[in-house]
Structure 1
């Protein structure tokens, strides 16, 4: 006579695979919801200083109006079928996003540490990765204003933009990914330095090398071998490449939009893991 299996499992008797799957889904859902909460808190700060977004657009405007106009007339840099302004416009948008991300993430973190806000966040049950990603998402939202500024200037200067909705969506995706990557990179620096003055110095030290070691203002083919190698591991190179293919009417991407997005996404994941481990150092 065989013993009949009970219809209901005894307490504690569950399929371990189901438990692991449920814990994983719950962790992802919690990370997602807490990230949105932190992002909302950061975005609300724009209500107190909305003019910062306009001020951030002054530097790219100068690059397009002065640097771009001069090099378009000299024709010193070969850009194929594109005019130099068309070639340069995506690079200036990427540069603008880079500056917003670098000088927003780490500087805000140091300011919050001095006010004691970081200590309160670290005492909460919010995952460290959510704190990092929330700031990165908010920085991406801040950077969307740069799309409007650069598009407006480019149209006034006669740049032939691709205004198809799908192309604009691709630009938004790349800007969000690029801003998130460099914001978290800035947060890592903010976790390591102790003062705003030192962060400002380091920020100025790294932004221009990142910019010039990319394909933002000249093609990769003009670079010497050592600089070409550096540009291949520079996330800004892939951001500019994707923007040039999506933003310009007759533009093309060297690596392809999918590969550019993949590299930026993997960079974002790696930087998030590093920053999540370093984040508690801020309170020390």
Structure 2
């Protein structure tokens, strides 16, 4: 009688500890976030170089349009109105090219090693999405300090600042997973760079980061309502400036967008390993 082959360990459990795969999500997320923080600690030049663009937006665009007074902001100084939009923009610019790192990990063999671990792909994507959020929060802190130096009347309420961090993380999770999804489709760094550059400006100018939705033409208002960046900017304005905002709606849209983006990125992760 032939021996019955041993049953291999389930792919959804950790063979070393017997824990279900979902139990690995928090530790895996924290580990990757720590890695991102260590990268920033060892190479602070990335923070400084990425702060140049938002500084130029605030110093040149913000100061100039504050003098022109051409954009209705409801009595708020234009520089104050602009600052949350630039925070969201800088976080998006960090996250939208996150897929390049995934392609690099594929080329170096790191991604293949991650995909053969018992951790589900959705957990890996979630961890990477929140790791991108950590970098975006650090960048947002730099922009907030810069805006404060320019005289922007921001709140320093700790609870509101925690809300700002949560908004930035959710927005960054969406855009980083969007980038990972595109990377899984094109599977080439140069193509991803081209697509990323092609969609960042429409996302930015098609939001309420620079001007109110009410002054947009009708077709652009429709685009803005479907743009997650608009809800991120609205939430940041409400939290940082104390102006009326639909915070439950904003958080709900951002959370839903992040979940859908994580699901999409997880579905194409296997293509990257081929």
**Greater shift in the superposed pair: 172-181 or 44-53:** 44-53
2:251 maps to 1:261? yes
The counterpart of 1:229, out of the listed 222, 227, 235, is: 222
TM-score when scaled to structure 1?
0.86
The counterpart of 1:68, out of the listed 58, 62, 67, is: 62
- TM-superposed CA distance for 1:199, in Å, is 1.1
The alignment yields a C-alpha RMSD, in angstroms, of 1.6
Larger radius of gyration: 1
Whether contact under 8 Å (2:91, 2:168) holds in the other structure is yes
Look up the match of 2:108: 115
User: For residues 42 and 162 of structure 1, do their structure 2 counterparts lie closer, same or farther at Cα, with a shift above 3 Å needed?
Assistant: closer
How many Å separate the matches in 1 of 2:182 and 2:122?
Answer: 16
Look up the match of 1:137: 130
Runs of 4+ in 1 over 2 A off after TM superposition: 25-50
2:20 maps to 1:31? no
How many Å separate the matches in 2 of 1:240 and 1:223?
Answer: 16
The counterpart of 1:211, out of the listed 204, 216, 225, is: 204
Whether contact under 8 Å (1:102, 1:182) holds in the other structure is yes
Whether contact under 8 Å (2:90, 2:140) holds in the other structure is no
Whether contact under 8 Å (2:21, 2:118) holds in the other structure is no
How many Å separate the matches in 2 of 1:122 and 1:26?
Answer: 16
Look up the match of 2:244: 252
Look up the match of 2:183: 190
2:149 maps to 1:159? no
Unmatched 5+ stretches in structure 2: 1-18
How many Å separate the matches in 2 of 1:276 and 1:67?
Answer: 38
